[in-house]
């Protein structure tokens, strides 16, 4: 066997290994991005819910204050 052929075969194997490693890394990164997007969505929904509850609470307080300040 020729030394050049052996060298080329090893380079091809190394290239294939690097491609597999890259594919796994891309898959891991995509999974991490997906999880991060889910976290952002959940936190956004929680903030929206909190804002709505605060608004409802503020309206209740405002109504209470307005009715308690009326002269009898």
pLDDT digit string (tens) for 3-20? 555 567 888 999 999 999
The pLDDT of residue 17 is 94
Between the alpha carbon of residue 9 and those of residues 4, 20, 22, 44, the distances in Å are 9, 17, 20, 52
Q: What gap in Å lies between CA 51 and CA 48, rounded to an integer? A: 5
CA distance 9 to 2: 11
For the full predicted model, state whether its pTM sits above 0.75.
no
């Amino acid at each position: 066997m020729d030394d050049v052929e052996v060298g080329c075969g090893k380079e091809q194997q190394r290239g294939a290994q690097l491609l597999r490693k890259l594919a796994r890394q891309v898959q891991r990164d995509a999974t991490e991005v997906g999880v991060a997007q889910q976290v952002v969505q959940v936190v956004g929904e929680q903030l929206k819910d909190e804002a709505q509850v605060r608004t409802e609470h503020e309206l209740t307080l405002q109504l209470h204050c307005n009715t308690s300040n009326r002269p009898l």
